[in-house]
């Protein structure tokens, strides 16, 4: 049995993953704004440092893996893009940087990052957003989507998920990660009926776009289904897997880019 840190453990897919890991006998250290083992705000650098340190303190028998599910979707408000960039991107890479040494001690650690199929289905996400993220420049990334006005947060969202996926693929194959026995993979869900998606469906400005988004299988996915994939990606079945971005999205990505892969 292993010990896993799970961010976003209080709701949706993070909670479903934490529940399934615990039911299988693993130890979970959940991180979230509330209702978690570690209560922390991942939208600030200080919050991320505190969360990372607290998890390491609680992981008395070491850390066998991590699931980075905390995140926000697009929504109204001027501060939304900032929150998305801070939590969805830096809430992943800063925590993993802080946990890398401990994960390396396991010898066979597994990390699953929550990406999204918005990475391949959102057109014209600025290259400057991704470049700024990979350079660690939050302010530049936030500024780069401002010109999209009321749609800025949708581009911040897709940018944050492309950024985190690219960070994962670049780092997965390096001496620091693969060389230390740490498998870095990401899951790219499509529309999954969680509180995050429900909030978008309840928002008159966003509902139309969500409902019009084509899903070849014809239904929304469920949090428990995605959690099963994540648990599989933490299991010995994933010993030979690193740098992979796994789409579980009802076919939307394949519909948008059948031949482009």
Q: Per-residue x/- marks for ligand NAI, 98-137, CB under 6 A?
A: ----------------x-x---------------------
- What is the DSSP annotation of the chain? --EEEEETTTSHHHHHHHHHHHHTT-EEEEEESSSSSEE--TTSHHHHHHHHHHHHHH-TT---EEEE-------SSTTHHHHHIIIIIIHHHHHHHHHHHHHHHHSS-EEEEE--THHHHSTT--HHHHHHHHTT-HHHHHHHHGGGGGGHHHHHHHHHHHHHHHHHHHHHTSTTTGGGT-EEEEEEE-SB-SHHHHHHHT-HHHHHHHHHS--TT-S-B-HHHHHHHHHHHTSGGGTT--S-EEEESTTHHHHHTTT--
Q: Is 196 in the site for ligand NAI (CB under 6 A)?
A: yes
Binding segment (CB under 6 A) for ligand NAI, from list 119-127, 175-183, 194-202, 250-258: 194-202
Q: How far is the CB of 198 from ligand NAI (least distance, A)?
A: 8
Given the rule CB under 6 A, which of 64-72, 124-132, 143-151, 172-180 is the region that contacts ligand NAI?
A: 64-72
Choice among 89, 157, 220, 256 that is catalytic = 157
* Residue 72 makes contact with ligand NAI by CB under 6 A: yes
Q: How far apart are CA 69 and CA 83, in angstroms?
A: 15
Q: How far is the CB of 25 from ligand NAI (least distance, A)?
A: 23
41 binds ligand NAI, rule: CB under 6 A: yes
- Choose between 181 and 251: whose C-beta lies nearer to ligand NAI: 251
Out of 5, 189, 245, 247, point to the residue binding ligand NAI (CB under 6 A): 189
The answer to whether the CB of 18 falls within 8 A of the CB of 27 is: no
> Does the annotation mark 157 as catalytic?
yes
242 binds ligand NAI (CB under 6 A): no
With 0-12 / 13-18 / 19 or more C-beta atoms within 10 angstroms meaning exposed / middle / buried, residue 63 is buried
227 binds ligand NAI (CB under 6 A): no
Residue 74 is a binding residue for ligand NAI (CB under 6 A): no
CB of 245 to ligand NAI, least distance (A): 12
Should residue 12 be labelled a site residue for ligand NAI when binding is judged by CB under 6 A? yes
List contacts with ligand NAI (CB under 6 A).
8, 10-14, 32-33, 41-43, 69-73, 87-88, 114, 116, 189, 191-192, 194-197
- The catalytic residue positions are 157
């Amino acid at each position: 049995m292993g010990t896993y840190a799970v961010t976003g453990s209080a709701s949706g897919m993070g909670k479903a993953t934490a529940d399934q890991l615990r039911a299988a006998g693993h130890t979970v250290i959940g991180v979230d704004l509330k209702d978690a083992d570690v209560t922390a705000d991942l939208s600030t650098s200080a919050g991320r440092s505190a969360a990372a340190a607290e998890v390491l303190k609680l992981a008395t028998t070491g850390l066998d893996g991590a699931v980075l599910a905390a995140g926000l979707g697009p929504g109204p408000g001027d501060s939304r893009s900032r929150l998305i960039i801070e939590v969805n991107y830096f809430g992943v890479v800063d925590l993993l940087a802080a946990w890398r040494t401990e994960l390396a001690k396991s010898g066979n650690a597994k990390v699953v990052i929550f990406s999204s199929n918005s990475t391949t289905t959102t057109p014209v996400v600025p290259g400057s957003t991704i470049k700024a993220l990979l350079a660690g420049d939050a302010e530049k990334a936030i500024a780069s989507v401002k010109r999209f006005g009321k749609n800025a947060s949708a581009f911040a969202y897709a940018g944050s998920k492309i950024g985190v996926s690219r960070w994962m693929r670049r780092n997965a194959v390096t001496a620091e990660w693969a060389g230390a026995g740490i498998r870095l993979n990401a899951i790219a869900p499509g529309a999954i009926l969680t509180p995050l998606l429900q909030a978008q469906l309840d928002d008159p400005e966003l509902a139309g776009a969500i409902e019009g988004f084509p899903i070849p299988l014809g239904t929304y996915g469920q949090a428990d289904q995605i959690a099963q994939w994540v648990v599989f990606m933490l299991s010995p079945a994933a010993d030979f897997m690193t740098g992979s971005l796994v789409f579980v999205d009802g076919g939307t990505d394949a519909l948008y880019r059948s031949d482009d892969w």
